[in-house]
Amino acid sequence: MTTQIVPISDSQLIFTGILVLITAGISASFRLGLLKSLLWGTARCVLQLSVVGYALAWIFSVNRLEVVIPVIALMALFAANTATRRTPNVSDFPTLLAFVALASTTYLVAVIVSLTIIRPVPWYESRIVVPISGMILGNAVSGITLSIDRLYGEVRSHSHEVEALLSMGASPWESVHDLIREALRSAMTPMINSLMVVGIVSIPGMMTGQILGGADPVEAARYQIVVMLMISCAAAVGSMILIGLSFRRLFTKDEALRPNLFRSNS
């Protein structure tokens, strides 16, 4: 079995435009109105990934902890901004709370994986820690978005029950405890479903990439197991942290539901 990656030249990369043309042809044939978005998305994809490739090459060559930490923080900030814009049931959710939840989750899970499982030397090896952090963030964003959006939606639809509990002396936590459980369940269910079908219905991207890069399929499968369990943990921890930090925003200082709770971004 070959263990060398097959390089892709500039000319070979240009030929991937054939795939774009096929997609564009389908859009044009059925008048889907997606041609402009497709071309713009393709251009952004090429530009963004090219820039990321050169940036990562520099980060890997420097390989210093004082570079790795702020890079991950910057990634978490962009992820937090994305998360707060994908919550139709939440009005003006603070990016700072999402950033704290995502950054703390990413640092925690990445350190655990690096120190106890992969164990590179040094432990903050940027070639390992930065991609791991990117995978954690990419999946934690979906988890925290689902959890906070579901929480606000559930409280909005069960506002009468929550207000009744508050009027009978229940604390804010007690009045929404069951709804918080539903929100966490909503965040974790997609990841659990992925754990059940991975390897049978699909071969995930990381495993595919390693195999294309010449890695032994068995070793690639081991890494994919680590990744799947890592991102499922990140989704759960990130959602728990964000809900813990933000559920009080549902209530006023007098422990009543906030009036602006009934406004949404949709």
Residue range 63-111, pLDDT digits in tens: 999 999 999 999 999 999 988 887 777 767 788 999 999 999 999 999 9
Task: Specify the pLDDT at position 263.
Answer: 62
Mapped onto helix, strand or coil, the DSSP state of residue 165 is: helix
pLDDT band at 7 (very low <50, low <70, confident <90, very high): confident
> Which two structure tokens, joined as six digits, stand for 44?
């952004």
Give the tens place of pLDDT for each residue, 125-134.
999 999 999 9
Q: Is the pLDDT of residue 27 over 70?
A: yes
Q: Name the packing angle between helices 95-112 and 217-246 (round to 10°).
A: 140
- Is residue 261 within 8 A of residue 157, CB to CB? The reply is no
Question: How far is residue 52's CA from residue 112's CA, in Å, rounded to a whole number?
Answer: 25
The predicted model gives 40-62 an average pLDDT of 94
- Is residue 219 within 8 A of residue 11, CB to CB? The reply is no
Q: Is the pLDDT of residue 1 over 80?
A: no
pLDDT band at 265 (very low <50, low <70, confident <90, very high): low
User: Would you give the DSSP letter of residue 250?
Assistant: G
What is the average pLDDT value for the chain, to the nearest integer? 89
H helical segments located in 91-125: 95-112
Question: How far is residue 219's CA from residue 115's CA, in Å, rounded to a whole number?
Answer: 19
Question: How far is residue 133's CA from residue 138's CA, in Å, rounded to a whole number?
Answer: 8
User: Would you give the DSSP letter of residue 99?
Assistant: H
Task: Specify the pLDDT at position 264.
Answer: 57
Question: How far is residue 256's CA from residue 155's CA, in Å, rounded to a whole number?
Answer: 12
The predicted model gives 148-159 an average pLDDT of 90
Q: Indicate the range of 60-64, 140-144, 256-260 predicted with least confidence.
A: 256-260
Residues with Cβ < 8 Å from 146, sequence gap 6 or more? 183, 186, 187, 190, 239
The predicted model gives 186-210 an average pLDDT of 84
Give the tens place of pLDDT for each residue, 34-50.
999 999 999 999 999 99
User: Would you give the DSSP letter of residue 145?
Assistant: H
- Regarding predicted confidence, which is higher, 211 or 155? 155
pLDDT band at 255 (very low <50, low <70, confident <90, very high): confident
Torsion 205-95-109-121 (CA) sign: positive
The predicted model gives 198-204 an average pLDDT of 78
The structural domains of the chain, with segments of one domain joined by +, span 8-62, 63-262
**What percentage of the chain exceeds 70 in pLDDT?**
95
Question: How far is residue 175's CA from residue 168's CA, in Å, rounded to a whole number?
Answer: 10
Read off the pTM: 0.84
Question: How many C-beta atoms lie closer than 10 Å to residue 195's C-beta?
Answer: 14
